[in-house]
Structure 1
Amino acid sequence: MMNKKYAPLFETMTFKNGIQLKNRIVMAPMTNWSSNPDGTVSEAEVKYYARRSNGAGMVITACTYVTANGKGFHGEFGGDRDELIPSLRQLATAIKEQGAIAILQMFHGGRQVPPELIPDGDVVSASNIPAEGNGKPEPRELSDQEIRSIIRDFGETTRRAIEAGYDGVEIHGANGYLIQQFFSPHSNRREDKWGGSLEKRLTFPMAVVDEVKRVVSENAKRPFIVGYRFSPEEAETPGITMADTLVLIDELAKKDLDYLHVSLQEFWSKPRRGVDDTRSRIEIIQERVGNRVPVIGVGSIYNPDDALKAFQTGVPLIALGRELIIDPDWVQKVLDGKENEIITEINKNNQEQLVIPDPLWQAIIHTPGWFPGIH
């Protein structure tokens, strides 16, 4: 029987559109490098998600690209054309059959895209500024017409998600990809309506949100979730500061979104710059917009006490990423009062039992420090 102190994590939550989650645990979106070369979801990937979808209230997929030149990783599944709808449906069905709400995360990689993955190696971004680091390609600055086309592509991928049976989409405006590239003063040096001032750098992210919402209102026959993920700060100078992010989330909170999802490695991490505040970024964000839009917190949460402590900040949803890869039965163990049996370090001999596709498994065991237990 469940320890009563964890009961708050297992209360249902109803979004304002009426969709109900059975608990407050979300599977975070994580790249798995395991799709087929043609952009379809692989069998191994479907099994990996199904194995993790019977506990969490909501599962957010790895990102899918909305435009052919937005593919950010080897082994990434696509949402950029109608012939991929059956593949998208296969994944949505596998998640929902296990009892979770299925959310498709969608993005364009922008300047982070490996040139070999895209047509003509044509890497694009808000401006022709390469990402920091050795050997990063210099992107081509997008034209006004191309920007409008990519905005429509986000809408078209949303339509495909609706047709494929997803319960919602998450707009990936985090982790340095194209939407964030337009918001960032590092990557956006434009002087037209799409860049320059902070206000103009918001134009593209808000246009994507508006287009996605428009497509949902025209195509969804039942309630459909629209969330937005963002990274609160950038290390680069110039770069996004916590002050910039407070402006961003104020604008997003006006858009009638179903949730905002913070992208963090560490739940309790503190701001670098931009605010005079010693609290964690998530506490600052929750105080700023939490009464207007639900916030999902995430970052190095491994055991139920971690989750409970995070939940007590007031964020209504807690996302687990690496921990649900390490122990897919996390939720069930807490429910059964077996929280002392939860595994919090990856077992190098357990790939098959954990149903982890080989490309993801190879990345885990060959990246020391990423997962607990890999030194």
Structure 2
Amino acid sequence: MANLLKPLVLKNINLSNRLVMPPMATSASQPDGKVSKEIIDYYDEKSKGGYIGLIVIEHSFITQQGKASDKQLSVADDSCIESLKVLANTIQKNGSKTVMQINHAGNAAKKDVTGMEPVGPSAIANPRSKSGIVPKELSQHEIATIVEEFKNAAIRVKKAGFDGVQIHSAHGYLLNQFYSPLTNKRTDKYGGDTLGRITIHLEIIKAVREAVGPDFNVSLRLGASDYNENGTTIEDSKIAAVEFEKAGVDLLDISGGFSGYNIPGADKQGYFYPLTEALKEVVSIPLILTGGITDSLAAEKLLQDEKTDLIGVGRAILNDSNWAKNAIEGLKK
């Protein structure tokens, strides 16, 4: 059997294969962040036939201050739960499993979207933003509030019937901002070395795990390198990944930090594989690899060479809703 076709048990989730559709923002929610017909139709089309083992729903804001863009999905209050139930059920009845990604944009948020001043770990502008706006440094009391907001969002995800929840710490958003020395210059317990900079992550994981219980799947998307000489490196991520596993994370989804979902000059399929390969040496939980994978044979080779446990295919599935079907059927022959 081809590696991509092999099932995998992730705690409470029985995946039919190793193919993952990673989170990709549709910017198609209703103005208040609730699920729209357009979003239901989109995920219905992508999940038809259950050819994708796991679908990760696009990043959804946990609080108004952390909203990244207009028409971003919301998981910020209980009124979202009913429409999210429809979304989860739509995907599951098609045969795929689904988890929801929850996020706070931090200093990547804009006042004209949120109506509020952007915040961050330190008063340092986001390196990915051209605005140059300096955020307000979060107090410890405000950090405690954000931990609570992540917890409450995870509870809503579970109530909506999703198979798991994913905490977003990549692509230059708030948790990535705490993780990266580019934007975290704090001198309290939330700053300093790698262990200090992941304190907020560990508090969130603990709060989420206690809230959703031991049997619900909790994953984390980690921007495992900033690809910047002063930013995070794979050595930081080895330390972080070990701590995340200890804290109760069931699955790590590996991507870039302030480099975003790209690496400058990368052209090989699965270009984040040096990160997953290194992390596989230090953790026993499964890893998802993404990064420009457009060919099922390339995906198969990455699994065969044990670079990763699961393969995330984004743009190819975005551009062609039959990609997964063609890939899976092709490998069965």
Which residue is 2:241 aligned to?
249
- Give the TM-score normalised by structure 1: 0.81
For residue 189 of structure 2, the aligned residue among 186, 193, 217 is 193
The letter of the residue matching 1:269 is: Y
Which residue is 2:329 aligned to?
336
Structure 2 CA distance for aligned equivalents of residues 164 and 192 of structure 1: 37
Once the 2 structures are TM-superposed, how far is the Cα of residue 146 of structure 1 from its aligned partner? 0.8
For residue 120 of structure 2, the aligned residue among 119, 125, 128 is 125
Which residue is 1:239 aligned to?
231
Aligned-CA RMSD value: 2.0
Tell me if the contact between 1:232 and 1:262 (Cα under 8 Å) persists in the aligned partners.
Answer: yes
Where in structure 2 are the equivalents of 1:138-157 lying within 5 Å? 138-157=134-153
For residue 166 of structure 1, the aligned residue among 162, 165, 184 is 162
Once the 2 structures are TM-superposed, how far is the Cα of residue 72 of structure 1 from its aligned partner? 0.6
Q: How many residues align?
A: 319
* 1:30 paired to 2:24: yes
The letter of the residue matching 1:50 is: D
Tell me if the contact between 1:268 and 1:281 (Cα under 8 Å) persists in the aligned partners.
Answer: no
Structure 2 CA distance for aligned equivalents of residues 238 and 252 of structure 1: 23
Once the 2 structures are TM-superposed, how far is the Cα of residue 179 of structure 1 from its aligned partner? 0.6
Q: Deviations over 1:33-75 (max 9, x none)?
A: 1111111111111111111113101100000111110001221
Residue range with higher mean Cα deviation, 330-339 or 87-96: 330-339
Once the 2 structures are TM-superposed, how far is the Cα of residue 118 of structure 1 from its aligned partner? 0.8
Structure 1 CA distance for aligned equivalents of residues 103 and 287 of structure 2: 20
Structure 1: runs of 5+ lacking an equivalent: 271-278, 341-375
* 1:323 paired to 2:321: no
The letter of the residue matching 1:230 is: L
Which residue is 1:285 aligned to?
279
Tell me if the contact between 2:271 and 2:290 (Cα under 8 Å) persists in the aligned partners.
Answer: no
**SS of structure 2 residue aligned to 1:92:** helix
Once the 2 structures are TM-superposed, how far is the Cα of residue 196 of structure 1 from its aligned partner? 2.2
* 1:83 paired to 2:79: yes
Once the 2 structures are TM-superposed, how far is the Cα of residue 229 of structure 1 from its aligned partner? 0.5
**SS of structure 1 residue aligned to 2:247:** coil
User: Structure 1 segments of 4 or more deviating over 4 A?
Assistant: none
The 3 A distance-change label for structure 1 pair 202 and 40 is same
Residue range with higher mean Cα deviation, 99-108 or 320-329: 320-329
The letter of the residue matching 1:323 is: A
**SS of structure 2 residue aligned to 1:227:** strand
Where in structure 2 are the equivalents of 1:197-216 lying within 5 Å? 197-216=193-212
Tell me if the contact between 2:61 and 2:67 (Cα under 8 Å) persists in the aligned partners.
Answer: yes
Where in structure 2 are the equivalents of 1:221-370 lying within 5 Å? 223-263=215-255, 264-265=261-262, 268-269=270-271, 280-289=274-283, 292-314=284-306, 315-337=308-330
Percent identity over the alignment is 31
Structure 2 CA distance for aligned equivalents of residues 260 and 336 of structure 1: 27
Which residue is 1:51 aligned to?
45
Structure 2 CA distance for aligned equivalents of residues 58 and 66 of structure 1: 22
Greater Rg over alpha carbons, structure:
1
